[in-house]
Amino acid sequence: MPMPVDQRPSRSVREIIQKNQKRQHWHKTMEQLAPKVLLMLASLSVFVTIGILLTLLFETVEFFRRVSIVEFLTSKEWLPWNEENGSFGVAPLLTGTLLTTGIAMLIAVPIGLASAIYLSEYASDRTRKMIKPALEVLAGIPTIVYGFFALTVVTPLLQTIIPDLEIFNALSPGIVMGIMIIPMIASLSEDAMSAVPNSIREGAFALGATKLEVALRVVLPAAASGVIASFILAISRAVGETMIVAVAGGSSPEFTFDVTKSIQTLTAYIVQVTTGDAGYGTTIYYSIYAVGTTLFMFTLLMNLLAQYVSRRLREEY
């Protein structure tokens, strides 16, 4: 019995050409449209940044129309809630911020750097795959959890050693902030040290150097740009931390360097005011923009310093 013949009409050459032309036209349109869409998306972050800066600038100018900039920069009293004898000297907020940041760096730098040296120079691949994710888990814990940990666990432990330590103090949040930024220093420093070529290590070993000498005197100086940049970025992270210091640091803006006393940082003050205690259009309301501008300038300087150090000390291999 003969096989049935397929009765489906075959496409003509003209139809195939027309279909290919439509496809090429679509691809050409997409190629022309893609750069414009990508440019618009890339410009969005720039416009948002400009909008934030303009908002800070306009509201900060309004604050300095009411409060002398000399008083803001030189006065050592921050008493915004006193309507009769109020004072807007930012120094107490700056000292509180620098105090907690300094304590955090004293904790984070040695531990983070030691972790980076171990992961880069001593740990096996299997150990590195276990320890590095465990370190990075610290970065994923919400900061509010760190704050309550500092208040309910760290502070009572410290009070057994320092009886005069107040419930709200600078020491406890500083220590916990240091624990929080350890992963940043460890991860960035380890990446910088791992980027150093093995040929440099082998040359040092050939000269009779020990593994510790290679790590400290060869690899670490070679990766200095990345390591120092990680320190500076960690400082920026600590300066901008909010919830830990707001929960465990207190709300007493005093010009002091006593770590056992209650303090208030720049970010903690912004949190306090934005809870609704200050009415719109008041001097206290505009003060949060002046404090925010101070915080922004400090963080910007830290980031610029990190970029400068990276360029200045960068080694090309």
Q: Three-state SS for 87?
A: strand
Q: What confidence score (pLDDT) does residue 20 get?
A: 67
Q: Is the CB of residue 56 less than 8 Å from the CB of residue 296?
A: yes
Q: What is the pLDDT of residue 173?
A: 92
| pLDDT surpasses 80 at 194 | yes
Complete DSSP assignment for 50-68: HHHHHHHHHHHHHHHHHS-
Which of 79-83, 94-98, 293-297, 301-305 is least confident? 79-83
**CA atoms of 174 and 171, how far apart (whole Å):** 5
Taking 90 as the threshold, does the pLDDT of residue 88 lie above it? no
Both tokens of residue 40? 């618009």
Distance of CA 9 to the CA centre of its chain: 66
R_g of the chain computed on alpha carbons: 29
Q: What's CA 302's distance to the chain center, in Å? A: 11
| Residue 276 burial (C-beta neighbours within 10 Å; 0-12, 13-18, 19+) | exposed
What distance in Å separates the CA atoms of residue 158 and residue 45, rounded to the nearest whole number? 44
Closest CA to 91 of 232, 246, 266: 266
On average, the pLDDT of the chain sits at: 83
pLDDT higher than threshold 50 for residue 230: yes
Please check the confidence at residue 210 and state whether its pLDDT lies above 90: no
Q: Average the pLDDT over 122-133 and give the result.
A: 83
- CA–CA gap between residue 289 and residue 294 (Å, rounded): 8
90 pLDDT higher than 60: yes
> For the residues of 276-300, what is the DSSP string, one character each?
IIS-TTSHHHHHHHHHHHHHHHHHH
Tokens 């290679």 belong to 214
Higher pLDDT: 9 or 261? It is: 261
* Distance of alpha carbon 313 from alpha carbon 317, whole angstroms: 13
Name the more confident of 7 and 157: 157
